[in-house]
Structure 1
Amino acid sequence: MLRPLIKNRVNLLNFYFPSSSSSLTNNFLIVTEKAINQLGKVSSPGENLRISVDSGGCSGFEYKMILDKEINAKEDEIIKFSNGASVVIDKISLEFIRGSKLDYSEDLMRAAFRIIDNPKATNGCSCGASFSPKEIFNMLIINRFGLPFNIYLNNYRFQLIIT
């Protein structure tokens, strides 16, 4: 089941993102050596770093990362590394971060995996946890009544209300 991106007052059941390519390749995310090494250290056998994008944060959408053992073959893309580490991204979130870089950074405030250099983001918060999408894209959403409608995003926050 696809998870909703926009959770405000609506149940969204299905998403459609037009894709420029018919099949996704492992070239959709650049992963630094530092991130690969750290992921190998912190993950147990069978655990993957799951990256997702959800509504929220101070810029409209936020990156979420957790260690997860579950993989949905229909909805997830997987990147495996020679040290046994792997990254899993659901196909909806992938459309928001395609071409980005996954890095591991350590500073005075925190040590964490971060998405940087996202070509599909324009504005972001200072901590790097949230962003605004750059491109206009069209989402076809099937609501709870089975009626499709379109949403257009272009760097604006919005609230979707179905009455």
Structure 2
Amino acid sequence: MTIASTAQPATADIILTVSAASRVAAIAAKQGKPAILRLSVEGGGCSGFQYRFGLAVAPEDGDTVARQDGVSLVVDEISLDLVRGSAVDFVESLGGAAFQVTNPNAASGCGCGSSFSV
């Protein structure tokens, strides 16, 4: 896996797992879009901040880009401050399947795993 940014040198700011990359590739192929997953952090959710995922057409200026198996994960500068050092994974369980962020910056989170506080 390689990490690159349009704004700064390559670092391990965020990681996209093989499982997440595989899922993004499948979704993008089905929708006829580039295999680029955007992670952003917004205010809200039960714990103060919530993760938002969506397919992107291309990285934007200032985005940090993590690559895994031909798939890109892009994160804007403001969101990166809240998720630096995180890993984005795709997990399947009895409760369903979802992208999951393992965030070392989160002081607490909610039961569903989609929101956190710092």
Q: Which TM-score band applies after superposition, normalised by the shorter structure? A: 0.7 to 0.9
Please say if 1:78 is aligned against 2:65: yes
Assess if the C-alpha contact under 8 Å between 2:36 and 2:71 holds in 1: yes
Assess if the C-alpha contact under 8 Å between 2:24 and 2:35 holds in 1: no
Q: What does residue 38 of structure 1 align with?
A: 23
Provide the aligned length of Structure 1 versus Structure 2.
109
Q: Percent identity, aligned pairs only? A: 39
TM-score by length of 1: 0.61
Counterpart among 28, 38, 57 of residue 50 in structure 1: 38
Secondary structure at 2:59 match in 1: coil
Secondary structure at 1:38 match in 2: helix
By percentage of residues, which structure has more strand? 2
Determine which structure has greater relative contact order: mean sequence separation of CA pairs < 8 Å that are 6+ residues apart, divided by chain length.
Answer: 2
Q: Which runs of 4+ in 1 moved over 4 A?
A: none
Secondary structure at 2:12 match in 1: helix
Assess if the C-alpha contact under 8 Å between 1:79 and 1:88 holds in 2: yes
Task: Provide the C-alpha distance between the structure 1 equivalents of 2:59 and 2:106, rounded to a whole number of angstroms.
Answer: 26
Task: Provide the C-alpha distance between the structure 1 equivalents of 2:63 and 2:77, rounded to a whole number of angstroms.
Answer: 6
Deviations 1:15-72 (A, max 9, x none): xxxxxxx935341112222112222221245241100000000000001101121431
Q: What does residue 19 of structure 1 align with?
A: none
Q: Which structure's CA Rg is the greater one? A: 1
Q: What does residue 3 of structure 2 align with?
A: none
Q: Which consecutive residues of structure 2, in runs of 5 or more, have no partner in the other structure?
A: 1-6
2:78 is matched by which residue type in structure 1?
I
1:77 is matched by which residue type in structure 2?
T
Secondary structure at 1:35 match in 2: helix
Please provide the CA RMSD for this pair.
1.8
TM-score by length of 2: 0.82
Q: Which consecutive residues of structure 1, in runs of 5 or more, have no partner in the other structure?
A: 1-21, 134-163
